[in-house]
């Protein structure tokens, strides 16, 4: 039995296409069976803290050097790391904002990724991600449509950062595009027609 972590990062609530697409992915996974729990983390309803001067200091420590104050300052970070440990499948919904991921999703990544926690170095000083067996489904909503020749910064960035700092390489991306076009009608079934399980 598998556990799903569903990350929502659009501020548009029930109007959000990335939330609807990521929720449709979760629904399909649940319908397919073999799912134990679904944990939802809405990054807009409970926003991640921004890394500030004091908390950044804790991020540079190795886990052995943490003290009681570290645990207070890293409380959010530790909670989301625990959620990642528990999850087999992570479904991430994000709007495209200026070719990139949403601000709360970036803040979540900045809290999540930590040396000695989400990645470590082996004897040859190669980075080894700690979440190698997990799968990510990425649901991206954009007002425009992909233009031939324009790099897909958003999913390329997310794939690279997950690979380098968590070890996750299995990332399947689904896009809902053209959401600001007049008369736009979402067709989630069509987008997820070829979804792999
Ligand atoms: C600040 C801002 C920046 C945006 N940047 C882009 C962009 O770079 N490319 C694009 O296609 N759409 C862009 N959009 C449109 C959103 O991607 C689109 O409205 C999308 O549906 C939002 O996701 P959501 O429905 O999950 O909230 C932008 C919208 C806002 C408010």
pLDDT at 182: 96
Distance 97 CA to ligand 1 centre (A): 5
Rounded Cα distance between 179 and 186, Å, is 8
Give the chain's mean pLDDT. 95
CATH number of 2-191: 3.40.50.360
Which structure tokens are listed for 85? 């440990």
Length of the chain as a residue count:
197
| Residues framing ligand 1 (Cβ under 6 A) | 10, 12, 16-19, 95-99, 141-144, 179-180
Nearest CA to ligand 1 atom 2: 97
The candidate with the shortest Cα–Cα distance to 173, out of 187, 194, 189, is 194
Mean pLDDT of 67-72: 92
Nearest CA to ligand 1 atom 19: 143
Nearest CA to ligand 1 atom 20: 142
Position in ligand 1 atom list of the atom nearest CA 12: 27
Annotated binding-site members: 10, 16-18
pLDDT at 195: 92
How many other C-beta atoms lie within 10 A of the C-beta of residue 61?
Answer: 15
DSSP per-residue letters across 98-155: TTB--HHHHHHHHHH--BTTTEEE-TT--EEES-TT-EEEEEEEESS---TT---HHH
By most ligand atoms within 8 Å of CB, the mutation choice from 95, 101, 181 for ligand 1 is 95
pLDDT band at 83 (very low <50, low <70, confident <90, very high): very high
Hey, where are the domains in the chain? 2-191
**Coil, helix or strand at residue 157:** helix
pLDDT at 24: 98
pLDDT higher than threshold 80 for residue 158: yes
The predicted-structure confidence for 112-151, as pLDDT tens digits, reads as follows 999 999 999 999 999 999 999 999 999 999 999 988 777 8
pLDDT at 62: 86
What percent of the chain is modeled with pLDDT above 70? 100
Which structure tokens are listed for 174? 């689904």
Strand 127-129 relative to strand 119-121, pairing:
antiparallel
Position in ligand 1 atom list of the atom nearest CA 17: 25
Beta strands in 35-113 (DSSP E): 35-42, 89-95
pLDDT at 63: 84
Three-state secondary structure readout of 26-37: HHHHHHHCCEEE
CB–CB of 95/18 below 8 Å? yes
By most ligand atoms within 8 Å of CB, the mutation choice from 179, 188, 191 for ligand 1 is 179
The predicted-structure confidence for 25-49, as pLDDT tens digits, reads as follows 999 999 999 999 999 999 999 999 9
């Amino acid at each position: 039995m598998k556990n799903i972590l569903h990350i929502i990062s659009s501020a548009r609530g029930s109007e959000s296409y990335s939330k609807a697409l990521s929720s449709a992915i979760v629904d399909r996974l649940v319908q397919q069976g073999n799912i134990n729990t679904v944990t939802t983390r809405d990054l807009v309803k409970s926003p991640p803290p921004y890394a500030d001067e004091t908390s950044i200091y804790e991020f540079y420590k190795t886990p052995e050097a943490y003290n009681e104050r570290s645990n207070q300052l890293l409380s959010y970070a530790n909670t989301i790391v625990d959620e990642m440990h528990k999850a087999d499948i992570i479904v991430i919904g994000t709007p495209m904002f200026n070719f990139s991921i949403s601000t709360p999703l970036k803040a979540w990544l900045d809290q999540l990724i930590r040396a000695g926690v989400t990645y470590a170095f082996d004897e040859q000083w190669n980075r080894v991600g700690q979440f190698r067996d997990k799968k990510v489904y990425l649901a991206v909503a954009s007002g425009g449509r992909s233009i031939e020749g324009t790099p897909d910064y958003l999913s390329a960035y997310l794939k690279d950062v997950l690979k380098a700092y968590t070890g996750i390489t299995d990332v399947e991306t689904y896009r809902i595009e053209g959401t600001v076009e007049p008369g736009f009608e979402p067709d989630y079934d069509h987008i997820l027609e070829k979804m792999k399980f």
